[in-house]
Amino acid sequence: MPLPLSSVSTASAEDGLRALQERIHVMQGRGNREGFHPVIPGLRGLFPSGLRGGAAYSLETPLSVAMALLAGPSANGQWCGAAGIPGFGAEAAAGFGVALERFVLVPDTGPDWLPVISTLADVLPVLLVRPSARVTPGDAARLASRLRERGGTLLVLGPWPQSEGLLRVRGSRWEGLGDGHGHLRRHRVELELQHRGRTSTAVLDLAALDSSGTADSFSTVDGSGTWQGTGGHSASRAPHATTAGSRPALVQVAP
């Protein structure tokens, strides 16, 4: 069943985003001057202080890991968004702890993606994007200036010039299945962050996350920040059962 949408459908995505600016500014303030945006406990081994405001991170990860990165700021009451990702699943994001009532989704940015991303970066503290065209160093520099002014963080699925860090998956393993039977209880993903000449690693159990962005237990192994769930959650990313009337509204902007 689809989520109910607060839909803003206009001639262009950029026009629709402008209509959202005042609404979001009023709700969360004109500027986001925080130095860092929080992350969930399982990612603190990679981001001890959180995601740096005014920076862009390049992600070579599944979309599920990107959703986990959005969960920390969202749980902290911040507005987040995703743009240029037609396959972004709102219900899956909610399962990782993303608050849909404070989420802006632009599935298709249209041919002129950069103005749309720039407009979003003006109002959203944390934004996940997949550029639809090659990003030039000049484009990245202009957007970086906006990020620094607002204290926002850009998460990019793919390469990005002069990124603050590169997050990639080193390995992935499912646990729980026997010989043709059993339940998938864990999905362990080994992550590696390359940041300013240093490399750090962590293991995140994606299947242990519940709808609040937490797990049944968390432990750190040799400072790596391993997140281990012990409740035997299903490995699927469906959120907890809710009725259609109880689901929060999602702001979606259509081109």
pLDDT at 157: 97
Q: What digits encode the pLDDT tens for the residues 234-253?
A: 223 333 333 334 445 567 76
HEC string of 28-66? HCCCCCCCEECCCHHHCCCCCCCEECCEEEEEECCHHHH
Whether the per-residue pLDDT at 227 is higher than 50: the answer is no
Enter the tokens of residue 130. Answer: 């997949």
Domain 5-28+50-165+250-254 sits in CATH at 3.40.50.300
DSSP code, position 91: H
Per-domain residue ranges for the chain?
Answer: 5-28+50-165+250-254
Mean pLDDT rounded to a whole number for the chain: 76
Residue 202 and residue 74: Cα distance in Å, rounded? 21
Distance between CA 203 and CA 221 in Å, rounded? 9
Distance CA 189, CA 204 (A): 5
With residue 127 as reference, give the H or E element that holds it.
strand 126-129
pLDDT, tens digit, 9 for 90 and up, residues 15-33: 555 556 555 554 554 444 5
Evaluate whether 179 touches 210 at the Cβ level (below 8 Å).
no
Segment 103-128 shows an average pLDDT of 92
Provide the whole-model pTM: 0.74
Gap between the terminal Cα atoms of the chain:
23
- Taking the CA atoms of 51, 106, 246 and 229 in sequence, report the sign of the dihedral they define: negative
Report pLDDT digits (tens) over 32-57: 454 899 999 999 999 999 999 999 99
Residue 228 has pLDDT above 80, yes or no: no
